[in-house]
Amino acid sequence: MRRSAALVLTLAAALTHTSACGRPTGPYPSREIKLVIQSTPGGLSDTVSRVLAALMEPELGVPVVCENRPGAAGALAFSYVTRQAPTGYLIGHGPVEIAMVKALGYANVGPEDMDLLCLVTKTKPVLAVRAAGPWRRLEDFLQAARARPGYYIVANSGTGSIWHINALLLERETGIRLVHCPFSGSSAALTALLGGHVDAAVAGTGEVGPHAKAGTLRALAVFDESRSPLFPDTPAVAEAGYRLGVSAWGGFYGPKGLAPEARAKLVAAFRNAFASPRFQALCQERGMEAIFLEPEPFREFALAQAAFFRKAIPELLAGGAR
For the chain (322 residues), the mean pLDDT of every run of 10, in chain order, is 42 41 70 96 92 98 97 95 98 98 96 98 97 96 98 94 96 97 92 98 94 96 93 95 96 98 98 98 92 98 98 87 44
* DSSP β-bridge partners for residue 95: 250
Taken in order 17, 21, 25, 30, is the CA torsion positive or negative? positive
The pLDDT value given to residue 104? 96
Is residue 220 within 8 A of residue 143, CB to CB? The reply is: no
Nearest in space to 251 (alpha carbons), one of 317, 207, 305, 188: 305
Helix (H, G, I), strand (E, B) or coil at 33: strand
Domains contained in the chain, CATH given: 32-122+248-314 (3.40.190.150), 125-246 (3.40.190.10)
Residues of the chain by 3-state class (helix, strand, coil), percent to 5: 50, 20, 30
The pLDDT value given to residue 292? 98
Q: Which residues contact 21 (CB under 8 A, 6 or more apart)?
A: none
Alpha-carbon span 104 to 39, nearest angstrom: 17
Considering only the C-alpha atoms of the chain, give the largest distance between any 2 of them, rounded to a whole number of Å: 91
What φ, ψ does residue 301 adopt, rounded to 5°?
Answer: -65, -50
Is residue 156 within 8 A of residue 183, CB to CB? The reply is: yes
The pLDDT value given to residue 203? 95
Nearest in space to 100 (alpha carbons), one of 303, 254, 299, 244: 303
What 8-state DSSP symbol labels residue 236? B
The pLDDT value given to residue 176? 97
Entry pTM: 0.87
